[in-house]
Amino acid sequence: MENDFRLLLAILAPLLGAGAVMATGKRPNVREACSFAAAATLFGITAWMIPDVLHGKHLHFTLFQLLPAMHQLQPLGVPLGGLSLSLRADALSMIFAASASFLWLVTVCYSMGYMRGLREHEQTRFNTCFALALFGAMGCAFSDNMLTLYFFYEVVSICTYPLVAHHQDEEGYEGGKKYLTYLTATAKGLILPSMVLIYLLTGTLDFAATINPGIFPADVNRWVVTVLYACCILGFAKNGVMPFHNWLPSAMVAPTPVSALLHAVAVVKVGVFSTVRVMLYVFGVKLMENLNLGLPTAYFVSITIVVGSIIALSKDNLKARLAYSTVSQLSYIILGVALLTDSGIQGGLIHIANHAFSKITLFFCAGAIYVATHKKNISEMSGLGRAMPITFGAFALASLSMIGAPPVAGFVTKWYLLNGAMDAHSLAIMGVLLISTLLNVAYFAPVVYRGFFGKTSESDQTHKFSEASPALVIPLSITAVISVLIGLYPNFFMQFVHRLFVIS
């Protein structure tokens, strides 16, 4: 199969960008220009591949051939194929890659204003690790097999540890330790052994060409496959599924641009993308239906959706509330795919993009509020919306998306998920969607109401708070507007989702 060098360029852009940032660290303006150039290059390369993918092409590039095919070695009666680190761009790849590459571009601009506004230390290390995290994320997006996916998944874990522990204080190191322990322990303890057994059972780690067949032979032991499936759901702990979710709120000790990276651009999206990639392209829709794995998975992640929302409701710290919101919202993606209906799968996959734009807006707003006022708690934000109308207005729009109200992006997600639940004849899942929506209202509405209509405290009346710098306000305004546009005109991302069904 012919190599498409655009895939190689897509992962080299952030990697070379990280090198350029390190080389220019003593010149801040040049350093940040290098970050922006790398982000712009990555987005341009990703956009360059979109027309071919929309025409049904699968683009490939082999990085390294690690093992040749071993047809004489058949420990379980299955000839073992070769193992390689290889890349592929297909419709599912592009949903994640297009979102992540564009949002990196916006986040680079936001980070400049945030880090300089607070005069943060080690900004060169920060920007370097940020670029390396995108290198890992794009590697995951464009992985052609489980081995490549696992490799880049671990790259993301390692490269984001310095970002989580950025402040280098006791709280930062504790958050970073928990972050790395959860993610590496689950990957090595569950994903790695599962990968070995899948290879022995099927003779390959390559993803299937379409979402229906999976890669397992027809006579495979159903109990073994069920255990492997459960290991994959839990092993990709970046997906935030309970009980392996606690790393995520603990990582909120990081600077706000890192929180935005964790929750919208790279880390959690790598986790949930990896989960649905394996569900659809290793196990496949037909096998999941035959083994009755779909609805039990949907019920299982429903616990995370509801409990995560309830915990979010109890948090006064704005970033902590947003963190538990992410824990809850990520499971919509897995739930939709697990419904195994066309509408459900479409609703789950489109939420990869819809959640990304909305959640990054919320974290951008939280950061802008902190830079302008040094306030972290919702109870301290009464009246700030009148002083910062653009920031709180953007927060309101992104909140509507998380709630699922029209015309913002999250409405598209919940419309498809609701239809998927009806197609699956599951009143329980419909109930979960209704309950979670009401909980979304309960923990987002008070933030907006308090900001615009709350009484300003006496201590705040002596301060003249205003919007943060344009470097912060412009990016959050852009992402807020886009979250509305992809709700009004969802076809850009939906065309990739529809392509999965056209070719399957």
As for how many domains the chain has, the answer is: 2
Question: Ranked by mean pLDDT, which of 109-118, 405-414, 457-466 comes out on top?
Answer: 405-414
Condensed to tens digits (0 to 9), the pLDDT of residues 383-394 reads: 888 889 999 999
Domain final residue pick, 232, 267, 290: 290
CA distances (Å), origin 499, targets 1, 52, 325, 410 = 22, 12, 30, 21
Q: In sequence order, which residues have a C-beta less than 8 Å from that of residue 174 and are 6 or more positions away?
A: 250, 253
Residue 117 pLDDT exceeds 90: no
Residue 474 pLDDT exceeds 50: yes
Same domain, 205 and 309: no
Residue 461 pLDDT exceeds 60: no
Same domain, 270 and 359: no
Percent of the chain scoring above 70 in pLDDT: 89
pLDDT at 167: 63
pLDDT at 275: 93
Report, as an integer, the average pLDDT of 31-45.
90
Distance CA 84, CA 95 (A): 24
Residue 115 pLDDT exceeds 80: no
Average pLDDT of the chain is 86
Residue 317 pLDDT exceeds 60: yes
Domain final residue pick, 290, 313, 341: 290
Residue 503 pLDDT exceeds 60: no
- Residue 261: pLDDT band (50, 70, 90) is low
Least confident of 37-51, 106-120, 181-195, 216-230: 106-120
Which has more confidence, 465 or 189? 189
Condensed to tens digits (0 to 9), the pLDDT of residues 18-32 reads: 899 888 877 878 888
Residue 458 CB burial class (10 angstroms; 0-12, 13-18, ≥19) = exposed
Which has more confidence, 349 or 171? 349
Same domain, 312 and 253: no
Same domain, 214 and 353: no
- Nearest-5° angle of CA 353, CA 355, CA 360? 105
> How many residues are there in the chain?
504
Report, as an integer, the average pLDDT of 229-238.
90
Structural domain boundaries, residue 420? 293-504
Same domain, 89 and 199: yes
Report, as an integer, the average pLDDT of 403-411.
90
Same domain, 376 and 393: yes
Same domain, 183 and 299: no
Same domain, 265 and 309: no
pTM comes to: 0.91
Report, as an integer, the average pLDDT of 86-101.
93
Least confident of 52-61, 103-112, 143-152, 301-310: 103-112
Same domain, 24 and 144: yes
Report, as an integer, the average pLDDT of 279-301.
93
Residue 170 CB burial class (10 angstroms; 0-12, 13-18, ≥19) = exposed
pLDDT at 82: 78
Same domain, 145 and 37: yes
pLDDT at 319: 86
Domain final residue pick, 290, 324, 344: 290
Can you tell me whether residue 373 is helix, strand or coil? helix
Same domain, 216 and 333: no
Least confident of 105-114, 313-322, 361-370: 105-114
Percent of the chain scoring above 90 in pLDDT: 48
Same domain, 273 and 345: no
- Residue 121: pLDDT band (50, 70, 90) is low
- Residue 504: pLDDT band (50, 70, 90) is very low
Report, as an integer, the average pLDDT of 166-179.
69
Distance CA 268, CA 265 (A): 8
Backbone angles phi, psi at 349, to 5 degrees: -70, -35
- Residue 267: pLDDT band (50, 70, 90) is confident
Distance CA 447, CA 264 (A): 20
